Amino acid sequence: KWNNMKKQAVLVKQHVAPLQAGEVANLRRKCASFDVEQHTFREQFRKKDFFRYMMMQSGG
């Protein structure tokens, strides 16, 4: 029984590996997309008038 269980575990790992790799790729893609979105938001925020005023007051 134990040997069969070990063999089955190896097979399951082999079947799951592509699914896991796909999920990892999907998460990396989502993280990269979020980084771009966050950077765009930050740049737009820094262009706001009140932020410019604060920068001028602080000498920046």
**Exposure on the CB side of residue 51, measured as CA atoms within 13 A:** 7
pLDDT band (50, 70, 90) for residue 55:
low
Q: Which ranges constitute the DSSP H helices of the chain? A: 2-46, 49-57
Question: 45 is in which domain, residue-wise?
Answer: 2-57
Q: Say how far apart CA 32 and CA 39 lie, in whole Å.
A: 11
Question: pLDDT tens for residues 24-54?
Answer: 999 999 999 999 999 999 999 888 887 677 6
Tokens 């009140």 label which residue?
50
> Would you say residue 60 has pLDDT above 60?
no
Beta strands, E only, 1-60: none
Is-above-0.85 flag for pTM?
A: no
Q: How many domains does the chain have?
A: 1
